[in-house]
Amino acid sequence: MARHYLDHASTSPLRPEARAAMVAAMDACGDPGRVHEDGRAVRVLIEDARERVAHLVGVRPRQVVFTSGGTEAINAAVFGVARMAPGRPIACAGVEHSAVRDASARAAPIVELAVERTGRIDTGSVSAALGARGAARPALVHCQWANHEVGTIQPAHEIVALCRAADIPIHVDACAAVGWVPTDLGALGADLVSISAHKFGGPAGIGALVIAPGNRYDPLMLGGQQERARRAGFENATAIAGFGAVAELLLHGDRIEGEARANQVRVAQLLDIAQAVEGVSIVGDPDPDGRLPHLVCLGVDGVEAEPVVVGLDRAGISVHSGSACSSESLEPSPVLASMGVDPEKSLRLSVGWSTTDDDIGSFAAAFAGVVNGLRALRNGGGR
């Protein structure tokens, strides 16, 4: 059976350009910290990739610290800031990724930021948190660029401006947004930004922490002087090469904007197909311009989403749900719960560079039958 992948927001398939760069990099053998020719060749490969990634997100190359992925970048950001202000709380909304919330909760007490029904962080609650004094003054504020479950784009520029005016560090989790929408981190001005390559067609196991000029934080990883002593460990040059190749691809012309337009069309098609079934609605911002172009989260009345995921999977279609059994977690999505949405009835569809008309057509052929069949079973119609 042919497979149809509609879960790009979890991880996007490796792009051919990244694969080619990684295969070529596998032949390079040398410690990039050594002065001999073999080491220098690997160093050039790494620094070329760093320059491309920096250019993609609008910062200087020396601001980019390669990590093993977005999760490590987030943990490094939290660790570094918390070390500078021990005991002070961290301000964080319920819609943040679990890596953000879990790393923060281990480091310090959490100040909860309010979110609207669409999943958008309430800037008023940020202002209130920033107004605290003494030991209650936050050591760090988190604000994602866009939500990974429902796609809602956050008022990141406004929240960064509030934090800078209050002289409180801010970390922006941009893992869900980089590669999908233009992300000029230089113009954003955040102290720390996390990125993950596999989210937009790069290799898994590589990401970056972008650090604003003038900031210096204790590193999470110790044991070497790699990454200018900001992240110890032998560099994963093969994955870094793939990361750089995808960044270079997306720098060409209006590639990101063009892919975003195509993805928005695909999502609109999926939405039309899904909403033709009674009791299906959008979770998050209903305005396409208010959410990421490649994903939409749906509420499905009358049936839990997990069986829908299983039914679609049997039809060869991969999607995601926010219910407890959709991942390694034993708990439903805290993102959806914080929005007041039933995570047991949420279904996320996401497209990307490899999505085809056949993928959309296969979803159209299967969705109504799966949902209506499950509803009939729930209502006793299958007995």
Distance CA 41, CA 315 (A): 48
Length of the chain: 383
CB 177 within 8 A of CB 154: no
DSSP 36-55: SHHHHHHHHHHHHHHHHHHH
Give the C-alpha distances (Å, rounded to integers) separating 173 from 72, 147, 224.
12, 9, 26
Distance CA 343, CA 327 (A): 13
Distance CA 188, CA 326 (A): 34
CB 59 within 8 A of CB 195: no
Distance CA 89, CA 112 (A): 10
Residues with catalytic function: 325
CB 147 within 8 A of CB 96: no
Distance CA 88, CA 250 (A): 40
What is the SS3 assignment for 362? helix
> What are the structure tokens assigned to 36, written together?
């001999």
Which one-letter DSSP state was computed for residue 381?
Answer: T
Radius of gyration of the chain from Cα atoms? 21
